Amino acid sequence: MHFHFYGNPSALKKSLVELIYFAAAGVARITIALSDKDHLAMKLLALQEGTSVTLLLREAIREYLISRDGYDLTIKSDSTQEQ
């Protein structure tokens, strides 16, 4: 298998690290729709910070969940409900 990559080598390295992370960590993948303006802003911010849009979004989601105590939520079953 041969790969031809003509972009920034550090971007390729980060993409490969993400791919390995996804494969090893049991990460769920989602698809979201962004406005063109938001997408461009995320891409430019990722470029400025030397990271990827995926990592920026993952960080933003994690911070949101922490701020809303999302990690402390649980699902409780109603054991009195008849089946």
Residue 5 has pLDDT above 60, yes or no: no
> What residue ranges do the domains of the chain occupy?
32-70
Q: Which two tokens stand for residue 10?
A: 């550090």
Long-range contacts at 27-31 (CB < 8 A, ≥ 24 apart): none
pLDDT tens digits, residue range 9-68?
666 666 667 666 666 667 778 899 999 999 999 999 999 999 999 999 999 999 999 999
d(CA 14, CA 52): 8
d(CA 53, CA 11): 11
* Residue of 28, 61, 27 lying closest to 42 (CA atoms): 61
62: helix, strand or coil: helix
Q: Which two tokens stand for residue 22?
A: 């996804």
